[in-house]
Structure 1
C-alpha cells in the first residue's frame, strides 16, 4: 500500500533554509531513491536520509496527481507555506535549479 513519505531538505529559497518534499511510495527506501533520482544530494536531505514522517494518502491527496510525483512546502518567515505540486521537470535541488537567491548562512554556506 502506498504512503506519503515526507523528507526535510535543505532549501536556500526558504527563509529557514528548509523545505519538506512529499513523495508517494510503497516503502521509505523507494521514496528515498526517488528523491535522490530527482536530483537531491544526500547531504541536502536531513535526518540522514530518513523521512521526517509518513502520512496516509488521504492526508495529502494532491501528491497522487502531481505531474512530477512530488509536493513541496517551505519554512518561511510566516511559518510553513501550503503544500504545492512540483511541476514535471522541476529540479528539487536548489543547487541545480539556478533560481535560488544566494544568501549566506554562516561561513562556507551559500
Structure 2
C-alpha cells in the first residue's frame, strides 16, 4: 500500500510539473502577443496572469525586457502550480520574444550533399 501511495505521489508531481511548464509557456506567448498588439508591461503581465489562471497556475514573476538592437521585447516569467492533494507547489520559467539572428553562415544544400557522402543504400562509384 505504501508503494502505491508513493507511486501516486510521484505521478502527481510529474503531472503538475508538466502543467506548470505548459502554463508558463502559454502565458509567455500570450504576453508576447499582447506586446505585439501594443500592450505595455502591465498589460502583457495581466494577459499572462489570465492565461495562467485558466491553466490552474499563478504568475510569480513577469518582466518585459527591451533591447535596443531588437524591435520586439522579450517576456520572461515564472509560473507556479500546486501539486494536487499535497502542500507542494512546482514552478516553471519561460520566455518568449524575438528569435536572435543566426551567427553562423548556412551552408548551401549542394555543398552539404557533396560533403555528406553517398545517400543511404547506394554504393559510391569508383
Considering the TM-score relative to the shorter chain, is it more than 0.5? Answer: no
Higher Rg? 2
Larger relative contact order (Cα-Cα within 8 Å, sequence gap ≥ 6): 1
Q: TM-score, normalised by structure 1?
A: 0.28
- Normalized per residue, which structure has more helix? 2
Q: TM-score, normalised by structure 2?
A: 0.26
- Normalized per residue, which structure has more strand? 1
